[in-house]
Amino acid sequence: MSVLKLRIYPDPVLKQKARKITIIDGSVRKLAQDMLDTMYKSDGVGLAAPQVGVSKRIMVIDVSSEEEPAKPIVFINPEILEKDGEMIGQEGCLSFPDVFFEVKRASKVVVRFQNLKGQTLKLTAEGNLLSRAIQHEIDHLDGKLFIEKATNELKRDLEMTKAGLLDGDAEEISKKLGDDEGLTLTVPSKEAVTS
């Protein structure tokens, strides 16, 4: 078991497009296991390689609840083939500690990827945490961050400011929102922490 160091915003690796994996060998399998260990240790449900400083197209997801056995999925070179519908829900990210806000995503995705054996698979996820996590992690592989998809930029800025990731006055932003409770740090359930 090897827990890797999480890269925290604004680390530049988070904005780079990850490179395709051409050979699935022992080093890729070790990276996948280390990423899973890191994700579980951090109480996340997803993790993309750039979040641990590796610019390769690999991500891991496990949306199983604490009451059921782990069901990790390793996605190598994932590609979304179809998107449909719309859903809005709260997201967090291991690269943005203590930051949570609403993000708009497609409700249904069909993704093609390779597993650790090199087999090409297709998976459909609709209206659930898996669908949201797949989109969140593929964004990481493309150098895109969930802060770019906030449904309310003021709420995003407030959360980023409270977490110390953005310079500004949290009270001032809270007043603009007209939110008396804007300064209360809310920590959502594990389901909201996608990566």
H/E element holding 104? Answer: strand 96-105
Q: Is 125 annotated as a binding residue?
A: no
Positive or negative, the CA dihedral 99, 100, 103, 109 is positive
Residues with a known catalytic role: 137
Q: For the sheet with 58-61, list strands across it.
A: 46-48, 58-61, 73-84, 108-114, 120-126
CB 71 within 8 A of CB 88: no
Positive or negative, the CA dihedral 129, 180, 145, 26 is negative
115 exposure class (CB count in 10 Å sphere: 0-12, 13-18, 19+): middle
Q: Is 136 annotated as a binding residue?
A: yes
Structure-token match 């291991």, residue found: 94
Residue 75: which of 14, 128, 20, 6 has the closest Cα? 20
Rounded-to-10 torsion of CA 106, 99, 195, 110? 0
Residue ranges for the known binding site for Fe cation are 93, 136, 140
Residue ranges for the known binding site are 93, 136, 140
